[in-house]
Amino acid sequence: MQTKEQVSRLNSLEWEGISRGGIDENLTGELAENKEITEQVLEQLEQISTQDQQAGNILEHFKNYQSEVDAAMQLVAQGKTQTALAASDDIDEVYDELYEEITELEQFYVDQKQRTRQVADVGTTLSLLMAAAIIGTLFHKFSQQLWNKNQKLGTALQDLQQTQGQLIQQEKMAALGQLIAGVAHEINNPLGMIQASTHNSQKALDETLENLPQLPQRLTEEQQASLFELATRAMRNRLSLDSDESRSLKRTITAKLKEHDIDDARGIADTLTDMGVGDDIEFLMPLLKSRYGSWAVELAYNLACLMTNNQMILRAVERSAKIVFALKSYAHFDQSGQKQLMQVSEGLETVIEIYQNQIKRNIELVRDYQDLPDIWGYPDELVQVWTNLIHNAVQAMNTKGTLIISTSQHEEGVEIGVTDTGSGILPEVQQKIFDAFFTTKPAGEGSGLGLYISQKIVEKHQGHIKFESQPGKTKFTVWLPLESSETP
């Protein structure tokens, strides 16, 4: 390109010199400048000509053209303008040949550059395709590794959840182990009641069957009606009296019987008091004054005992069933991992039933329950939370004090409070009580996992647990949402 421009420049200077008919100072300067540029062009052409034959041809034509132009410029300088003008035709012919050579070479380089660019584009495309293939392979490999890692993480999570569930169950069983003696006592009580009531019923039934055939011979119909009225009152309207009230009633009945000169007034008063019929006994006076009055009262007592003992057996069975149900609910572990619609108070009552033997001794239990809607949760796991809180409260009070269990609805959730009147939690350990394996209990009495597990269970329900403690009062509060993001 520079060669082409220089040739055009030489041609222009030639015609400028011829047209002026001489070389003035300005033209001399331009010729000097042109000579310097021409030397640079010749030097570049000589470097190229060693590797490019066409460039060598251009160099030869350029030198010839420069010689012809220099000769013409000398003629102009000598004032031989006409001679120089006559030679210009030959110079123009050389110029045309040189210009054509330069144009061809220029086009060659343009074409070569275009081909090089096309080759470069193909190379770039191939490189991009290869890079895409490599990236795709790496991505597939990375995806496979990521999938494998996710599988391992999923397995690890399942193992962790299973371990946590086993840990919760172990804690529940450990707590139950500490309570088993009290629970056994709670079961033995109704069993003993059933045994005693059954024995009493059998005795009353035997005596009734023995004496009942003699009833028509010993009592008139009016007296029989009084007997059955007495038995009915004893079965349906039995009074519940403490020892002081019982002694007072016995004295009152004895006095009334003596007023009517009833034989064995004290013995009959004892029986009537045990039957719980009260001091309204005027309807019995005709029967009691008869020859078989004492016998009739004993028969009515046995008839009433059959009903009373039957009711006691039913209550004992219900009590036993309640304890067994509480044990079953407490020990149950749901392995489905699915949330259930549940009532919070049911879990609380299960734990209270398990701890009944400890609570009923010297602890006043106060239930402050409000009506609550059902919530979604894991009832078996929450039983462990209530167990830990109630167990700690009972121990903090040394089995003597007031235990308040409250429920209420609060801020789109339910709030459960467990308050005790124990010694409180020392300020220096309050920051640690939710830490794993931290315990203030003597060795062998606590694993240090109770409150830690409780906190994790509550957090699993997207709730929170907090406490306030001072000497004489400690309250743990658990808040659970009505619905969580995992609600089915």
In-domain check, residue 488: no
Domain boundary among 127, 143, 171: 127
**CA atoms of 323 and 320, how far apart (whole Å):** 5
Tally of residues, the chain: 488
**CA atoms of 131 and 125, how far apart (whole Å):** 10
In-domain check, residue 226: yes
Residues 353 and 464 in one domain: yes
Residues 316 and 338 in one domain: no
What pLDDT is stored for residue 98 in this prediction? 59
**CA atoms of 486 and 479, how far apart (whole Å):** 17
In-domain check, residue 439: yes
In-domain check, residue 18: yes
In-domain check, residue 244: yes
> Which class for 475: exposed (0-12), middle (13-18), buried (19 or more C-beta within 10 A)?
middle
Residues 286 and 359 in one domain: no
Domain boundary among 320, 345, 363: 320
Pairing type for strands 473-481 and 375-377 reads unpaired
Residues 430 and 364 in one domain: yes
Residues 288 and 349 in one domain: no
Q: What is the dihedral of CA 309, 314, 319, 322, to 10 degrees?
A: 170
Residues 343 and 243 in one domain: no
Domain boundary among 127, 147, 178: 127
Looking up tokens 């009972």 gives 394
Residues 304 and 412 in one domain: no
Residues 114 and 42 in one domain: yes
In-domain check, residue 310: yes
What pLDDT is stored for residue 370 in this prediction? 93
**CA atoms of 294 and 204, how far apart (whole Å):** 16
Contact 482, 414 (CB under 8 A): yes
Residue 59: which domain range? 2-127
- Which H helix or E strand runs over 470? strand 464-470
Position 22, amino acid = G
Contact 87, 13 (CB under 8 A): no
In-domain check, residue 367: yes
Residues 351 and 473 in one domain: yes
Residues 368 and 258 in one domain: no
List the pLDDT tens digit at each of the 488 positions of the chain: 445 555 455 555 545 555 555 555 555 556 556 656 656 655 665 665 555 566 566 656 666 666 766 676 666 666 666 665 566 566 666 656 656 666 666 666 666 667 766 655 666 667 666 766 676 676 567 667 767 766 766 666 566 555 655 555 566 565 556 566 666 766 777 788 888 888 888 998 999 899 989 999 999 999 899 889 888 888 887 777 788 888 898 899 899 888 888 888 899 888 888 888 888 888 888 888 888 889 988 998 888 888 888 888 888 888 777 777 766 666 666 666 788 899 999 999 988 888 887 888 789 999 999 999 999 998 888 988 998 899 889 888 987 899 999 999 988 899 999 999 998 988 888 888 888 767 766 555 555 677 888 898 899 999 999 999 999 999 999 999 987 655 44
> Which class for 317: exposed (0-12), middle (13-18), buried (19 or more C-beta within 10 A)?
middle
What pLDDT is stored for residue 97 in this prediction? 66
What pLDDT is stored for residue 37 in this prediction? 60
Count of structural domains, the chain? 3
Contact 294, 264 (CB under 8 A): yes
Q: For the domain that residue 428 is a member of, what is the CATH number?
A: 3.30.565.10
> Which class for 2: exposed (0-12), middle (13-18), buried (19 or more C-beta within 10 A)?
exposed
Contact 388, 454 (CB under 8 A): yes
Residues 300 and 366 in one domain: no
